[in-house]
């Protein structure tokens, strides 16, 4: 009987420790990647500010050509909205909407992933020599959910490579169009 009590107490203390550590983990999650595209900000901005062009370079569109898309709101800029649904778990379903658009400088997006939660993304454009540095960032708030805080540690691994792939596809597309 004594070993079972020790085992139960050990498991309880481990769970308590994991819970305490979870609240020491960051509440805000940020993942960012950047690249320099040999084109002016205005050329790059045209691909970021219009969801009808998003799938030309999106890493997720390439993973599921059968995904369904619905566009609403203005064609570009603030209020432009794209809903997608896919049976591929790497693509999933959700909604993104442009909530801020500063020509040649910034596109800020709200993201909703259904039961998976909400987040935001942004595309910052900065002059870089004769080209444009594009910084694609994702951010989310895990709130006070200990499980989400632990999962927050994995976001860079989960989406970092996707962001790198998307930026590489965008770079090739914009530079080829020049």
pLDDT digits (tens, 9 = 90+) for 141-167: 888 877 777 777 778 888 899 999 999
| Helical segments of the chain, H only | 2-22, 41-48, 51-54, 59-63, 146-152, 155-176
Q: What is the CA radius of gyration of the chain?
A: 20
pTM given for the model:
0.84
pLDDT per residue as tens digits for the range 31-85: 999 999 999 999 999 999 999 999 999 999 989 989 999 999 999 999 999 999 9
Distances (CA, A) of 35 to 28, 72, 135, 137, 178: 24, 29, 7, 12, 17
Say what the pLDDT of residue 84 is: 96
For 18-31, what is each residue's pLDDT tens digit?
A: 777 767 777 888 99
- Tracing tokens 């970092």 back to the chain, one arrives at 160
Is the Cα dihedral 112, 113, 114, 117 positive or negative?
negative
Q: Which residues pair with 81 in a beta bridge?
A: 72, 97
Q: Is 90 helix (H, G, I), strand (E, B) or coil?
A: coil
Lowest average pLDDT, out of 12-21, 36-45, 95-104, goes to 12-21
Other C-beta atoms closer than 10 Å to the C-beta of 15 total 10
Domains of the chain: 27-176 (3.30.530.20)
Output the pLDDT for position 46. Answer: 96
């Amino acid at each position: 009987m004594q070993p079972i009590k020790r085992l139960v107490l050990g498991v309880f203390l481990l769970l308590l420790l994991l819970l305490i550590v979870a609240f020491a983990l960051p509440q805000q999650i940020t993942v960012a990647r950047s690249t320099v595209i040999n084109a002016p900000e205005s050329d790059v901005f045209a691909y970021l500010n219009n969801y009808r062009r998003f799938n030309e370079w999106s890493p997720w569109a390439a993973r599921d050509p059968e995904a369904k898309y619905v566009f609403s709101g203005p064609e570009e800029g603030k209020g432009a909205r794209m809903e997608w649904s896919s049976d591929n778990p790497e693509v999933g379903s959700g909604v993104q909407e442009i909530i801020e658009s500063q020509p040649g400088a910034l596109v800020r997006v709200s993201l909703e992933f259904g039961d998976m939660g909400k987040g935001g993304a942004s595309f910052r454009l900065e002059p870089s020599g004769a080209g444009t540095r594009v910084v694609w960032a994702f951010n989310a708030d895990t709130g006070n959910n200990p499980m989400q805080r632990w999962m927050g540690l994995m976001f860079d691994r989960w989406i970092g490579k996707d962001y790198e792939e998307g930026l590489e596809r965008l770079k090739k597309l914009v530079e080829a169009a020049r």
